Amino acid sequence: MLLHIPDILNADELQRARALLADAPWTDGRHSAGTQAAQVKNNEQLPHDCEAASQIRAMVLRGLDRSPQFFSAALPKKVFTPRINRYGGEANHYGNHIDNAIRALPDSGQRVRTDISCTVFLAEPDAYEGGELCISDTYGEQAVKLPAGHMVLYPGTSLHQVRPVTRGHRLACFFWIESMVRSDEQRRLLYELDMNLLRLRQQHGEGAETTALTGTYHNLLRMWADT
Q: pLDDT-based confidence at 38, cuts 50/70/90?
A: confident
- 3-179 maps to which CATH number? 2.60.120.620
The 3-class SS string of 113-179 reads ECCEEEEEECCCHHHEEECCEEEEECCEEEEECCCCCCEEEEECCCCEEECCEEEECEEEEEEEEEE
22-31, 162-171, 193-202: which has the minimum mean pLDDT?
22-31
Q: pLDDT-based confidence at 192, cuts 50/70/90?
A: very high
The pLDDT of residue 188: 97
Return the domain boundaries, the chain: 3-179, 184-224
pTM of the model: 0.94
Distance CA(67)–CA(2), nearest Å, equals 17
Residue 33 has pLDDT above 80, yes or no: no
- 184-224 maps to which CATH number? 4.10.860
* pLDDT tens by residue, 106-122: 888 899 999 999 999 99
Query: Hey, do 3-179 and 184-224 end up sharing a CATH topology, with the first three levels equal?
Result: no
Distance CA(140)–CA(65), nearest Å, equals 32
